[in-house]
Amino acid sequence: MYLWIFIALAAASFQTIRFMLQKVLASVSLTAAGATFARFLYSMPFILGALAVYLWQSGQSLPDMGARFWMFALIGGVAQILGTICVVALFKQRNFAVGITFKKTEVIQTALVGLVILGDQITMGGWGAILLGLVAVLILSKPAQSSGPWYQHLTNRASSLGIASGVFFAFSAVGYRAASLEFAELAPIVRAGVTLAAVVTLQTVIMAVWLVLRDRGEIARVWQARRVAIWVGLTSMGGSFCWFWAFTLQNAAYVKAVGQAELLLSLLASVLVFKETVTRREIVGMAVLGLSILLLILTL
């Protein structure tokens, strides 16, 4: 019954490692768009290969993917591209832990988008936890070396990128859940694999066309960074598959709420790996957001 919780925790672990690698790529050799493209390009062969082997071994064939499936897959895929670019760009504005925390405001937006598009219901306790998460965003919105009231910092570049990433990832999560539910007759693990393979293929093509038109040299730099980028692809495959699998089993907002365990992992990475300073205000903000996650889980 609670298998989806463990799957979401695994997804959060993979995702933390992947964002760490993308931060390294973005700060050393690639633009935010290039680091995002590397994620899709280097995960696609592994995803398509794994799906092909599974279908061959099980004797199954690909399900019929209708227009409604591709519509939701496209919405989710494009939203994820934009959300990832925002997060990678945010890493250049604030430290790793705070960047990930801003991204995790996606739980709030996912609940709203899921309610409007899919009719996913949230309990009163769940809404209370979500509002507490908004308080955390307000705390985190003020940079450490700044003055003036908090509300003046809600429109700074870091806050704008973080909140925008949350909106995009919300549409991404709900789009993926909607796409996977088009295969209601299949086992959840198959639904997740087919949806992921279709989405990553779309994303790779979209990003490749974009870079060809806007910055061809970045494609060469993505290839030159392959020794690190291939690990981005592998961790992206693991994380994405776990997210998709969990989305087939539970409300997307609840899945993303459990995935907030990524906050603790990102804090450890920020301090231990990137040697970044985390201020008292930022720790309080992350603690408040963590509390909102715990309350949301307790309302399930």
According to DSSP H, which parts of the chain are helical? 3-28, 32-58, 67-90, 96-103, 106-117, 124-140, 157-180, 188-214, 216-224, 226-249, 252-258, 262-268, 280-298
Contacts of 70 (CB under 8 A, 6+ apart): 198
Report yes or no: 145 and 134 within 8 Å, Cβ to Cβ: no
Q: Quick one: pLDDT band at residue 25, thresholds 50, 70, 90?
A: low
- For residue 230, give both structure tokens: 């291939």
Mean of pLDDT over the chain: 79
Helix axes 157-180, 67-90, angle to 10 degrees: 160
What percent of the chain has a predicted confidence (pLDDT) above 70?
Answer: 81
Q: Which residue has the higher pLDDT, 110 or 27?
A: 110
Mean per-residue pLDDT, 233-262? 81
Q: Which residues, at least 6 apart from 56, have a Cβ–Cβ distance to it below 8 Å?
A: none
pLDDT grade for 163, boundaries at 50, 70 and 90: confident
Task: Give the domain extent around 196.
Answer: 3-298
Residue 16, pLDDT > 70, answer yes
Q: What is the DSSP letter of 148?
A: S
- Rounded CA separation 257/253 (Å): 6
**Residue 132 — φ and ψ, nearest 5°?**
-65, -35
Amino acid at 271: V
pLDDT for 95-122, tens place per residue? Answer: 555 666 666 677 777 777 777 777 777 7
Task: Say whether pLDDT at 144 is over 70.
Answer: no
pLDDT in tens, 134-143: 777 667 655 5
- For residue 146, the model assigns a pLDDT of 56
DSSP state letters, 154-198: TTSHHHHHHHHHHHHHHHHHHHHHHHHGGGTTS-HHHHHHHHHHH
Reported as a single tens digit per residue, the pLDDT across 254-300 is 787 777 777 667 777 777 776 767 778 777 877 887 787 778 767 76
At residue 110, the pLDDT reads 77
- How many angstroms separate the CA atoms of 84 and 62, rounded? 29
Which pLDDT belongs to residue 203?
93
Number of domains in the chain: 1
Rounded Cα distance, 71 and 105, in Å: 25
pLDDT at site 27? 59
Nearest to 115 by CA among 285, 253, 299, 261: 253
Determine the pLDDT at residue 259: 77
User: What percent of the chain has a predicted confidence (pLDDT) above 90?
Assistant: 14
pLDDT band at 59, cuts 50/70/90?
confident
Structure tokens at 242: 């776990």
